[in-house]
Protein backbone atom coordinates (compact mmCIF):
# COMPACT_ATOMS: atom_id res chain seq x y z
CA UNK A 1 0.00 0.00 0.00
CA UNK A 2 2.85 2.40 0.85
CA UNK A 3 4.40 1.78 -2.57
CA UNK A 4 1.18 2.78 -4.34
CA UNK A 5 0.83 6.01 -2.34
CA UNK A 6 4.43 6.81 -3.21
CA UNK A 7 3.58 6.44 -6.90
CA UNK A 8 0.42 8.58 -6.82
CA UNK A 9 1.68 11.38 -4.55
CA UNK A 10 1.96 13.84 -7.44
CA UNK A 11 -1.73 13.63 -8.40
CA UNK A 12 -3.56 12.14 -5.41
CA UNK A 13 -5.23 15.36 -4.22
CA UNK A 14 -6.21 16.36 -7.75
CA UNK A 15 -7.91 13.01 -8.41
CA UNK A 16 -9.80 13.25 -5.12
CA UNK A 17 -10.96 16.74 -6.04
CA UNK A 18 -12.36 15.48 -9.36
CA UNK A 19 -14.41 12.52 -8.16
CA UNK A 20 -15.65 14.26 -5.00
CA UNK A 21 -16.20 17.64 -6.71
CA UNK A 22 -14.18 19.23 -3.91
CA UNK A 23 -16.17 17.66 -1.06
CA UNK A 24 -13.15 15.76 0.27
CA UNK A 25 -11.07 18.93 0.58
CA UNK A 26 -13.96 20.77 2.27
CA UNK A 27 -14.45 17.96 4.78
CA UNK A 28 -10.72 17.93 5.57
CA UNK A 29 -10.85 21.62 6.50
CA UNK A 30 -13.84 21.32 8.83
CA UNK A 31 -11.80 20.66 11.98
CA UNK A 32 -9.80 23.87 11.53
CA UNK A 33 -12.57 25.90 13.13
CA UNK A 34 -12.12 23.89 16.33
CA UNK A 35 -8.36 24.44 16.74
CA UNK A 36 -6.78 26.88 19.17
CA UNK A 37 -3.55 28.81 18.78
CA UNK A 38 -0.76 26.79 20.35
CA UNK A 39 -2.64 23.46 20.32
CA UNK A 40 -0.47 20.40 19.75
CA UNK A 41 -2.04 18.72 16.71
CA UNK A 42 -1.09 15.36 15.22
CA UNK A 43 -2.04 14.61 11.61
CA UNK A 44 -2.06 10.89 10.82
CA UNK A 45 -1.84 9.71 7.21
CA UNK A 46 -1.32 13.37 6.36
CA UNK A 47 -0.51 12.89 2.66
CA UNK A 48 0.39 16.19 1.01
CA UNK A 49 -1.08 17.94 4.02
CA UNK A 50 -3.08 20.97 2.88
CA UNK A 51 -5.06 20.72 6.13
CA UNK A 52 -1.87 20.47 8.23
CA UNK A 53 -0.46 23.55 6.50
CA UNK A 54 -3.66 25.46 7.24
CA UNK A 55 -3.42 24.47 10.92
CA UNK A 56 0.18 25.69 11.08
CA UNK A 57 -0.85 29.00 9.50
CA UNK A 58 -3.49 29.34 12.24
CA UNK A 59 -0.86 28.95 14.96
CA UNK A 60 -1.11 25.26 15.86
CA UNK A 61 1.98 23.21 16.71
CA UNK A 62 1.75 20.56 14.00
CA UNK A 63 3.23 17.09 13.84
CA UNK A 64 2.45 15.25 10.59
CA UNK A 65 2.89 11.50 10.15
CA UNK A 66 2.80 9.43 6.97
CA UNK A 67 4.46 6.28 5.65
CA UNK A 68 4.92 7.80 2.18
CA UNK A 69 8.16 9.76 1.80
CA UNK A 70 7.05 11.37 -1.52
CA UNK A 71 3.90 12.68 0.20
CA UNK A 72 5.95 14.13 3.06
CA UNK A 73 8.49 15.56 0.62
CA UNK A 74 5.76 17.58 -1.08
CA UNK A 75 4.41 18.71 2.29
CA UNK A 76 7.89 19.75 3.41
CA UNK A 77 8.45 21.76 0.22
CA UNK A 78 5.13 23.56 0.65
CA UNK A 79 5.94 24.36 4.29
CA UNK A 80 9.37 25.75 3.35
CA UNK A 81 7.84 27.94 0.64
CA UNK A 82 5.50 29.47 3.21
CA UNK A 83 8.03 29.65 6.03
CA UNK A 84 5.95 27.33 8.22
CA UNK A 85 7.35 25.05 10.90
CA UNK A 86 5.93 21.50 10.99
CA UNK A 87 7.43 18.35 12.47
CA UNK A 88 7.28 15.65 9.79
CA UNK A 89 7.60 11.98 10.72
CA UNK A 90 7.86 9.08 8.26
CA UNK A 91 6.49 6.29 10.44
CA UNK A 92 3.48 4.27 11.57
CA UNK A 93 1.22 6.00 14.10
CA UNK A 94 1.42 2.93 16.36
CA UNK A 95 5.19 3.45 16.66
CA UNK A 96 5.09 7.07 17.82
CA UNK A 97 6.59 7.95 21.21
CA UNK A 98 4.90 10.05 23.91
CA UNK A 99 1.36 8.62 23.78
CA UNK A 100 -1.38 10.91 25.03
CA UNK A 101 0.67 13.99 24.17
CA UNK A 102 -1.64 15.72 21.67
CA UNK A 103 -4.53 18.12 22.20
CA UNK A 104 -5.98 17.12 18.83
CA UNK A 105 -5.44 14.12 16.58
CA UNK A 106 -6.66 14.43 12.98
CA UNK A 107 -7.06 11.34 10.80
CA UNK A 108 -8.79 12.37 7.58
CA UNK A 109 -9.51 9.48 5.18
CA UNK A 110 -7.14 7.26 7.14
CA UNK A 111 -9.33 4.52 8.61
CA UNK A 112 -10.93 3.82 5.21
CA UNK A 113 -7.66 2.30 3.99
CA UNK A 114 -8.13 -0.74 6.22
CA UNK A 115 -10.50 -3.66 6.67
CA UNK A 116 -12.97 -3.15 9.53
CA UNK A 117 -10.95 -5.19 12.02
CA UNK A 118 -7.72 -3.40 11.13
CA UNK A 119 -9.48 -0.03 11.17
CA UNK A 120 -10.73 -0.72 14.69
CA UNK A 121 -7.15 -1.50 15.73
CA UNK A 122 -5.89 1.70 14.11
CA UNK A 123 -8.62 3.68 15.86
CA UNK A 124 -7.21 2.39 19.13
CA UNK A 125 -3.74 3.58 18.07
CA UNK A 126 -5.18 7.03 17.33
CA UNK A 127 -6.89 7.28 20.70
CA UNK A 128 -3.65 6.46 22.50
CA UNK A 129 -2.22 9.70 21.09
CA UNK A 130 -5.10 11.92 22.29
CA UNK A 131 -4.61 13.42 25.73
CA UNK A 132 -7.47 13.00 28.24
CA UNK A 133 -10.01 15.69 27.37
CA UNK A 134 -8.47 16.12 23.91
CA UNK A 135 -10.18 15.74 20.55
CA UNK A 136 -10.15 13.27 17.69
CA UNK A 137 -11.15 14.61 14.28
CA UNK A 138 -12.11 12.33 11.40
CA UNK A 139 -13.34 12.81 7.85
CA UNK A 140 -14.51 9.97 5.65
CA UNK A 141 -17.23 8.64 3.34
CA UNK A 142 -20.72 9.25 4.74
CA UNK A 143 -23.55 6.71 4.67
CA UNK A 144 -26.76 7.47 2.81
CA UNK A 145 -28.89 10.20 4.37
CA UNK A 146 -32.11 8.56 3.23
CA UNK A 147 -33.68 5.60 1.48
CA UNK A 148 -34.81 5.16 -2.12
CA UNK A 149 -32.77 6.68 -4.93
CA UNK A 150 -30.44 8.57 -2.60
CA UNK A 151 -29.49 5.34 -0.85
CA UNK A 152 -28.96 3.53 -4.16
CA UNK A 153 -26.85 6.40 -5.51
CA UNK A 154 -24.73 6.56 -2.36
CA UNK A 155 -24.09 2.81 -2.38
CA UNK A 156 -23.21 2.79 -6.10
CA UNK A 157 -20.89 5.79 -5.76
CA UNK A 158 -19.09 4.42 -2.73
CA UNK A 159 -18.65 0.92 -4.16
CA UNK A 160 -17.21 2.36 -7.36
CA UNK A 161 -14.68 4.53 -5.51
CA UNK A 162 -13.84 1.81 -2.99
CA UNK A 163 -13.54 -0.81 -5.73
CA UNK A 164 -11.19 1.30 -7.83
CA UNK A 165 -9.11 2.07 -4.75
CA UNK A 166 -8.92 -1.64 -3.94
CA UNK A 167 -7.87 -2.50 -7.49
CA UNK A 168 -5.12 0.11 -7.29
CA UNK A 169 -3.98 -1.27 -3.94
CA UNK A 170 -4.64 1.83 -1.83
CA UNK A 171 -7.46 0.55 0.38
CA UNK A 172 -9.31 -2.56 1.52
CA UNK A 173 -12.79 -3.54 0.35
CA UNK A 174 -15.35 -2.75 3.04
CA UNK A 175 -18.71 -1.13 3.66
CA UNK A 176 -19.03 2.46 4.87
CA UNK A 177 -18.21 2.27 8.59
CA UNK A 178 -20.51 3.68 11.26
CA UNK A 179 -17.83 5.96 12.68
CA UNK A 180 -20.05 7.74 15.24
CA UNK A 181 -20.93 4.34 16.74
CA UNK A 182 -17.28 3.29 16.72
CA UNK A 183 -16.41 6.43 18.66
CA UNK A 184 -19.25 6.31 21.18
CA UNK A 185 -18.64 2.60 21.76
CA UNK A 186 -15.16 3.60 22.94
CA UNK A 187 -16.51 6.22 25.30
CA UNK A 188 -15.92 9.36 23.23
CA UNK A 189 -18.41 12.22 23.08
CA UNK A 190 -19.42 13.38 19.59
CA UNK A 191 -19.22 17.17 19.55
CA UNK A 192 -19.98 17.88 15.91
CA UNK A 193 -20.82 16.12 12.64
CA UNK A 194 -21.18 17.83 9.28
CA UNK A 195 -22.03 16.32 5.89
CA UNK A 196 -20.42 17.48 2.64
CA UNK A 197 -22.58 16.32 -0.31
CA UNK A 198 -20.90 15.68 -3.63
CA UNK A 199 -23.70 17.22 -5.66
CA UNK A 200 -26.05 18.55 -2.98
CA UNK A 201 -29.13 16.89 -1.56
CA UNK A 202 -29.12 13.53 0.21
CA UNK A 203 -27.04 11.59 -2.32
CA UNK A 204 -23.34 10.63 -2.10
CA UNK A 205 -21.50 12.63 0.53
CA UNK A 206 -18.55 12.80 2.87
CA UNK A 207 -18.64 13.82 6.50
CA UNK A 208 -16.38 15.24 9.17
CA UNK A 209 -16.74 14.75 12.90
CA UNK A 210 -15.19 16.01 16.09
CA UNK A 211 -15.14 13.78 19.18
CA UNK A 212 -13.79 14.39 22.67
CA UNK A 213 -11.91 11.85 24.71
CA UNK A 214 -13.11 11.78 28.33
CA UNK A 215 -10.71 13.03 30.99
CA UNK A 216 -10.99 9.70 32.76
CA UNK A 217 -12.16 6.23 31.80
CA UNK A 218 -10.06 5.34 28.74
CA UNK A 219 -6.77 3.45 28.95
Q: What is the CATH number of the domain that holds 144?
A: 3.40.50.150
Per-residue pLDDT of the chain (219 residues; tens, 9 = 90+): 666 888 888 899 999 999 999 999 999 999 999 999 999 999 999 999 999 999 999 999 999 999 999 999 999 999 999 999 999 999 999 888 778 889 999 999 999 999 999 999 999 999 999 999 999 999 999 999 877 888 999 999 999 999 999 999 999 999 999 999 999 999 999 999 999 999 988 889 999 999 999 987 665
What is the spatial distance between Cα 132 and Cα 154, in angstroms, rounded to a whole number? 36
Residue 156 lies in a domain: yes
What is the spatial distance between Cα 23 and Cα 108, in angstroms, rounded to a whole number? 13
Residue 218 lies in a domain: no
- Its domain, for residue 73, covers 2-212
Please, is 135 exposed, middle or buried when counting C-beta atoms within 10 Å of its C-beta (0-12, 13-18, 19+)? buried
Residue 73 lies in a domain: yes
Residue 35 lies in a domain: yes
Question: According to the model, what pLDDT value does residue 219 have?
Answer: 58
Tally of domains within the chain: 1
Q: Where are the beta strands (DSSP E) in 27-92?
A: 40-44, 61-66, 86-90
Residue 217 lies in a domain: no
Q: Report DSSP state, residue 31.
A: G
Question: According to the model, what pLDDT value does residue 2 have?
Answer: 64
pTM above 0.85, yes or no: yes
Residue 152 lies in a domain: yes
Residue 72 lies in a domain: yes
State the Rg of the chain over Cα. Answer: 17
Residue 219 lies in a domain: no
Amino acid sequence: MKFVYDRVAFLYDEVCAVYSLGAIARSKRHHLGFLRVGSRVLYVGVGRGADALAAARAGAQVTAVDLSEPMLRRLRAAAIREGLCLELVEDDVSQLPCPGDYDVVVANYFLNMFSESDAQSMLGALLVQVRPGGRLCLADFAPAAGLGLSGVATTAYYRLVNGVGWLLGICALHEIPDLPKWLTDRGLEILDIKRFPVMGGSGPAYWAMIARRPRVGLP
